[in-house]
Structures are given as C-alpha cells and as structure tokens.
C-alpha cells in the first residue's frame, strides 16, 4: 500500500475489519501513512449495513511511530475543536487516551484538488478563484482561533462535484507562536514558505498564505511548484491570460517576506471582488468525468 507521500509500506493495518473501537465499527483501511491509518467506519450498532459514512484516523501499532502519531492526533483534535467552518473538516469524536488513540471525521464526497489539477479538464478562472477563496475561508477560521494548518497543499483539499471545497488533515497543525515545534519542519517542501524551509523563523499564519499561493500558482500555470521555489513566472501567467489583478495578488501571497503577505481575512475579501470582476469568463459546470472514489 502507498501512503500520501508516495512511500510504499507493507505493514499490516493497525486494526482489523469489523473491529469496534469505542462506538465505531471499522470496515476498511483505505490509507496507511507513516504514523496513522485511515478507516471507513460506521456506528457500532449499524452492523450489517453497507453504509460507511465516517472516517476513523488511528495511530499505527508501530512502536517507533506511536509517539509522533499521538502528537499529530492531539494537534488535529485540538485545532479541529477550536475552529469550525463549512470549508474546514469537522471533528466528530476523539479518544486520545485510548490504548490506540483515534479521531473521527465525516466521510466526504469528492476528490482531492490534486486530482482535479491533474485532470485534462481545466476550470475557468472564476472557478479557481472560488476554490481558493473557500480554502482561504477555512484558513481564516483556523487563524482566528489561534491555529496554523502547517501543510496546505492540493492533497489536503477535497472538492465535491458541486464545487464545495473542504480543507482536511490537521495533523501538522500548530498553535501560532508554539515554540515547542518551532525548530522542526514536517510540511511539504514544494508548498512550504521560505521561513519554514530555511529555518529563519517559526511558521506563522502567513506561512499558510504562502502555501495557498503556491497551490493557486499551480492551478493557474498547470504545473507543480519547483523545489526549491522559483520566482513567479509572469510570462507563463500571461500565456494563460491571467489578469494583472490576479497576478498581483498571487505575488503578494508568495512574497518571500512573510509580513508582505495578506491575511486570510484580507484574502477572502480580495478574492470575492476578483470573482465578480472575472464573471465575464464562462463558468462551465463541474463534470463527472473524473474517476470516482471506490
């Protein structure tokens, strides 16, 4: 099985099919990461039902990974409890003191934004702005509650066929100003802010804005960010007829100086205005030609 970073793992999942943990029955392990496993689940009393409307994220049984897995689940549960927004994954249950700690989330319909970006079907600019605004709204809720996401990237955004975007995976979230995690980097280099990678300062809410800018740049330029990051390619953006107002905003989001980047709240307002300005672009409906989740 392959985890979200592309690392293959042959270990046995941390729990068995139909095993009950608390009030939840585990049905299928659909993802194995280095520290946690993800299971489709249902309420324990729903035995025999084909429905699996929940996801249980459980610390792996590997002794070497348990400490990091427990830390991530604690961060995820605490940040998800602190911030609530329709564009942010909702926490339904958490048992952090269980023999094998776990958290529970609703099972969401949709595909990762990375799947949409990798499709041959590109979306008009107003749709891209709409998606980025939804992500910014989720970050605004997190930041206003004092938390940083820490790993903003296309794989951590789910987009439904109706276009609703949900920011997921708060395992690397941290409190703003947390000195205990200031010296360690566990994000994704292609999307991480310079201050995170270079160790010139601890991550802040502005680091999330930079990462979101790199996601937006990928959406507009139709290629993945380079590692190490390169300056914004204005010529390529002009090739795709991206308006100067959008290019200017993207430059501010990906500024190497954190204090020059807009806040999530400022970004939401700015994108909303750009959505109105670009409505002259035809907005095609999201199609269902992408492969559906099993």
Active site residues: 151
Question: Taking phi first (over 0 means left), then psi (-120 to 50 degrees means alpha), and beta for anything else, what does residue 169 get?
Answer: left
Backbone phi and psi for residue 190, each to the nearest 5 degrees, phi listed first? -65, -20
Q: How many CB atoms lie within 10 A of CB 94?
A: 21
Question: 228: cis peptide before it, omega within 30°?
Answer: yes
C-alpha 233/C-alpha 220 separation (Å) is 11
78 contacts 171 by C-beta, under 8 angstroms = no
**In the beta sheet, which residues pair with residue 122?**
none
Question: 3-state SS of the chain: helix, strand, coil percent to 5?
Answer: 35, 15, 50
C-alpha 111/C-alpha 63 separation (Å) is 32
């Amino acid at each position: 099985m392959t985890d979200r970073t592309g690392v293959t793992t042959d270990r046995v999942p941390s729990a068995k099919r139909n095993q009950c943990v608390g009030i939840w029955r585990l049905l299928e392990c659909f993802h194995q990461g280095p520290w946690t496993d993800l299971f489709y689940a249902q309420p324990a009393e729903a035995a025999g039902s084909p429905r699996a409307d929940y996801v249980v994220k459980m610390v792996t049984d590997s002794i070497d990974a348990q400490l990091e897995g427990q830390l991530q689940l604690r961060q995820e549960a605490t940040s998800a409890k602190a911030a609530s927004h329709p564009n942010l994954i909702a926490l339904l249950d958490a048992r952090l003191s269980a023999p094998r700690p776990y958290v529970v989330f609703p099972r969401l319909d949709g595909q990762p934004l990375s799947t949409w970006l990798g499709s041959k079907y590109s979306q008009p600019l107003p749709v891209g702005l709409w998606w980025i605004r939804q992500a910014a709204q989720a970050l605004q809720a997190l930041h206003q509650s004092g938390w940083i996401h820490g790993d903003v990237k296309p794989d951590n955004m789910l987009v439904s066929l109706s276009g609703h975007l949900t920011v997921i995976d708060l395992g690397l979230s941290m409190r703003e100003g947390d000195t205990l995690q200031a010296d360690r980097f566990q994000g994704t280099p292609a999307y991480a802010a310079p201050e995170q990678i270079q160790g010139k300062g601890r991550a802040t809410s502005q680091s999330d804005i930079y990462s979101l800018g790199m996601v937006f740049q990928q959406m507009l330029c139709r290629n993945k960010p380079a590692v190490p990051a390169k300056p914004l390619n204005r010529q390529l953006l002009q090739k795709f007829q991206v308006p100067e107002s959008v290019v200017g905003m993207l430059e501010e989001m990906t500024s190497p100086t954190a204090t020059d980047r807009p806040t999530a709240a400022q970004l939401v307002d700015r994108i909303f205005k750009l959505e109105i300005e670009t409505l002259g672009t035809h907005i095609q409906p999201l199609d269902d030609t992408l492969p559906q989740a099993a």
